Structure 1
């Protein structure tokens, strides 16, 4: 049940098991809020009209611009997100309408991205690394299909972890519709690792 009481994010106890995210209607953790610990296919059913800020206590999570976990994706790891611009820079949509927890797949990470659908054409293989620019690794081609062999990843439309985000879990994606893209363009990827704390909810590359 949403409440008009507004404890600060620091007052929320951190869960030691499972997933937990607190959604606030206004920026900077103000106004009505609602805690979510499992799939939330329609945010409006919780009583919140919109999401202006959020705190991920245990995660990770993926949010969607449309109900039913559809539309543009936004990946949230443990941390505080006081405004819209702390979780996206695409600005195409300013709404979050559904959420689901993301299951992590161990500590090893391996992904292969292919130029053409059905795992054909040129490819780039990445093992246990974050890659802020495919171009810097000599891969100039589009990405139309993906095999995630280990781990959970986020793909980005542009270099430097910018643009549209695509959650990539352990499975095969034979064409762009299966990972939610409208065009075959991914130019950077990074791993989602267990319970990392990124200051203010933003990922900062370490390389």
Structure 2
């Protein structure tokens, strides 16, 4: 991001306002390569269409980590957006396994209290069959008594 101690042009052009405010900031554009209309956020957005955007075509995460969602109200495919530039939609997903065509809602990732993490894993989909509770790191599920090599579904009660 920095070249010889100076921010790149994009950083000077897009980021100066965000850095003065909160620790989380994302700037979205309605055209690729940071063109067109732009809007700056320091908190969640449930639907960019309410701002007159059809979808987000490019974005820049100035600070914090964010979760982007394909549909409004935090629905659909989700993906993590870390600090950096995302000049096109296909840069959002980060994987060729699922092609992202739109970004309609997003929210910052809040810091979690990892001392109080708790998750329940289930043998089958839809939270069915045998279950086990995790509250620490487990390098091997079999070592903790989980006989199956797969987890069908899970619920996060607390933590990240």
**TM superposition score normalised by structure 1:** 0.53
1:27 positional shift: 2.2
Deviations 1:53-95 (A, max 9, x none): 1111122211211112211112212222122232212444401
Q: 90-99 or 72-81, which moves further after superposition? A: 90-99
Deviation at 1:118, TM superposition (A): 6.5
Normalized per residue, the structure richer in helix is 2
Q: In structure 1, how many angstroms separate the alpha carbons of the residues matched to 2:75 and 2:155? A: 19
1:58 maps to what in 2? 63
Q: Which residue of 1 aligns with 2:10?
A: 8
Name the structure 2 match of 1:99.
106
Paired position in structure 1 for 2:151: 142
Question: Over the residues paired in the alignment, what is the CA RMSD in angstroms?
Answer: 3.3
- Would the alpha carbon gap of residues 82 and 18 (structure 1) be closer, same or farther in structure 2, given more than 3 Å must change? same
Matched ranges for 1:5-44 at <5 A: 8-11=10-13, 12-13=15-16, 14-15=18-19, 17-44=22-49
Distance 1:149 1:98, change over 3 A: closer
Q: How does the TM-score come out when normalised to structure 2? A: 0.66
Structure exhibiting the larger radius of gyration computed from Cα positions:
2
Count of residues paired in the alignment: 138
Helix, strand or coil for the counterpart of 2:102? coil
Per the alignment, in what secondary structure is the counterpart of residue 87 of structure 1?
Answer: helix
Q: Deviations over 1:145-197 (max 9, x none)?
A: 234654x2xxxxxxxxxxxxxxxxxxxxxxxxxxxxxxxxxxxxxxxxxxxxx
Contact 1:63 1:98 survives alignment (8 Å): yes
1:109 Cα shift? 8.5
Distance in 2, Cα, partners of 1:93 & 1:63: 10
Q: Report the CA distance shift for 1:109/1:83 in structure 2 as closer, same or farther (over 3 A).
A: farther
Task: Find the aligned partners of 1:17 and 1:49 in 2 and give their Cα distance.
Answer: 27
Deviation at 1:29, TM superposition (A): 1.6
Residues 92/111 of structure 1: CA separation in 2 closer, same or farther (3 Å cut): farther
Query: Per the alignment, in what secondary structure is the counterpart of residue 44 of structure 1?
Result: helix
Superposition pairs for residues 29-178 of structure 1, below 5 Å? 29-88=34-93, 89=95, 90-106=97-113, 112=119, 114-116=121-123, 117=127, 120-121=130-131, 127=137, 140-147=149-156, 149-150=158-159, 152=160
